[in-house]
Structure 1
């Protein structure tokens, strides 16, 4: 919005499809909202109860600037127990969400004009987060016919003398893909060759369906150059608690702490207590969550592949998102999303919201129960926009 009281860098409209989804969801009384990754499942009761007890006991004040010491200890224990990784206390910083964590990481490592390579399709905010830290985002396209793996030749082609970091995200939002260990090892070799920082967004750790999750920092030689972003939002359905953490070398953590003191001071104490109990109770909590989202993903993928003009990779590999290929319809992502909303009252996000190589796709979040997913795809199958006759007409235009 252009106004003399607004900084000129924000005069250009930077609204995103994700940011507008709340308004679109209110267009009709019966909208089925598959747009945002905010699960319908309430935070497990054991987390709520135990954090409530902690609040009653006085955990309502600022915590240590790097986070509640008990939480930092549990994070270190988690990495040791799950991945045989030795993470030191001074390598841990607790944040008020992984989104804030990404900004803090970028702000800590970027000089003005540094370039950051983004695995694309990417989480919608990444480019603007890079720009907020005065960096330059560079999209590294990945493609369905390559299983959305990072192509090493294209990665090398993106690197310039100004490249400072590469952002990877696995399991991935929006594609649901997971980087193979082989791909990660090749990325690690390139990062070492060009002396790059790797910012690894690992907030869907629990939802790696086909292979055990491997933290990027666990690869040989990568701990010193990797900044790992974690969140409790997805793995423990705690989206509203706004708590996450960063794992990085102590000198990076020290700078992140200094920046954060001028932004939010500390993450919410009650949310940090909830995170402690989430980690301690994960063996009880996560198996059912993972099974639920895997079932939803498999159901939705099967339904998608029955709709003319739609297809998606099966079986789902990770996260709780599906990236639906709609190129056979000859509609743009925005046209398809708009028609589905208007004709079917189902809200999806256009794929180009996640980078230019997302054009021709739609993203759905399987964050509703299977009966709701069934109703959504029943409506789509009955609609004109994805009928064989309509697709044939478009192809003949």
Structure 2
């Protein structure tokens, strides 16, 4: 097809480092893959069995346009039990993943030229998602020496009359940073003061290691200025089921429903049935799941501490390690390239997550301790890391 026939907004779109990692992984049989946030833990068997039993009973059709009503009821109960948040069915919409939820949220919020503030480093798709919905990304730098916290002063400097939203992701991918309750309250206050929306990308809520996670939309006067995205992928080991949901004001949920009727119509019914059982029986399997991820994360962190020319903050959340490699004297892409070629260890260069990510690499600790040891045994032999400290 002639390039001129392709939509102009897609003519310049380029693959992300995460998107390209799959090709590398398939070409190296001895590779230790730290690239994608898809842990090797399979969805708990009970969830699978109950979901497929429901499929055999006939749950293979469209659900309500808002989502399976039984799943929505489970979500309403979950929000009350876990966070003390009182919402109704009208505040919930089921999505085909949180990434889909982000697109729906941005599509429903943005007019052409509206600005969306994105803390940097950021989850790689954010800028393109904003641009494809007609918005303009405005980057807000965060720094390791400030524990990658959002600076309220720098945030307020970036607020203009065109500001429509800020994307807040805590615990954070890629840095693992967790925003304090006080910081979230202050961000919520700025949203109310300047009348913009906080898109709260709450994906790693079960993986806050120092303090218990609390959602922004539960804080005083924040609900009306918050669109919350949730996912089943990480908290329930359900990446392949592609299931998430949005919590927001009922008037916005209606807008999202109308948009989605022109997109995927409804999320897969069998995935929604799995979501019911994931929430309903979470206390049976989640503690072990969380402990597994946490143990692996800190195990890899201890191996990183033994390397020369590599350092990082102690993990606060998620299963991502954002490793400072500036002392190697090489760029993020150069280090990531050498890790693949010399050690067959696949990571994501930090510049894939924004300008503030340069000088770092991201490791997704999605493999067991044996594979972690194999990876770091190889890394320790590389001259840029100088062996062991």
Give the TM bin, normalised by the shorter chain.
over 0.9
1:10 Cα offset (Å): 1.8
1:32 Cα offset (Å): 0.7
Q: Which residue of 2 aligns with 1:131?
A: 131
- Aligned counterparts, 1:211-250, within 5 A: 211-250=211-250
Q: Unpaired segments of 5 or more residues in structure 1?
A: 390-397
Q: Which residue of 1 aligns with 2:320?
A: 321
Q: Which residue of 1 aligns with 2:55?
A: 55
Q: Deviations over 1:17-72 (max 9, x none)?
A: 01100012134221111000001000000000100110011000000000000000
Q: Which residue of 1 aligns with 2:342?
A: 343
1:8 Cα offset (Å): 2.0
Rounded Cα–Cα distance in structure 2 between residues aligned with 1:230 and 1:65? 18
Q: Which residue of 1 aligns with 2:145?
A: 145
Task: Find runs of 4+ consecutive structure 1 residues off by over 4 angstroms.
Answer: none
User: Secondary structure in 2 aligned to 1:111?
Assistant: coil
Contact preservation (8 Å) 1:320, 1:366: yes
Rounded Cα–Cα distance in structure 2 between residues aligned with 1:295 and 1:58? 40
1:388 Cα offset (Å): 6.9
Q: Which residue of 2 aligns with 1:46?
A: 46
Contact preservation (8 Å) 2:121, 2:354: yes
Rounded Cα–Cα distance in structure 2 between residues aligned with 1:331 and 1:71? 49
Cα 1:2–1:23 change in 2 (3 A) is farther
Q: Which residue of 2 aligns with 1:164?
A: 164
1:9 Cα offset (Å): 2.0
The farther-off stretch of 12-21 and 372-381 is 12-21
- Aligned counterparts, 1:1-397, within 5 A: 3-314=3-314, 316-387=315-386
TM, length-normalised to structure 1: 0.96
Rounded Cα–Cα distance in structure 2 between residues aligned with 1:45 and 1:10? 40
Rounded Cα–Cα distance in structure 1 between residues aligned with 2:347 and 2:17? 9
TM, length-normalised to structure 2: 0.98
User: Secondary structure in 2 aligned to 1:25?
Assistant: helix
Rounded Cα–Cα distance in structure 2 between residues aligned with 1:223 and 1:318? 24
User: Secondary structure in 2 aligned to 1:53?
Assistant: helix
User: Secondary structure in 2 aligned to 1:382?
Assistant: coil
Contact preservation (8 Å) 1:344, 1:379: yes
Contact preservation (8 Å) 1:2, 1:8: no
Q: Unpaired segments of 5 or more residues in structure 2?
A: none
Q: Which residue of 2 aligns with 1:392?
A: none
User: What is the Cα-based RMSD across aligned positions, in Å?
Assistant: 1.2
1:110 Cα offset (Å): 0.6
The farther-off stretch of 271-280 and 182-191 is 182-191
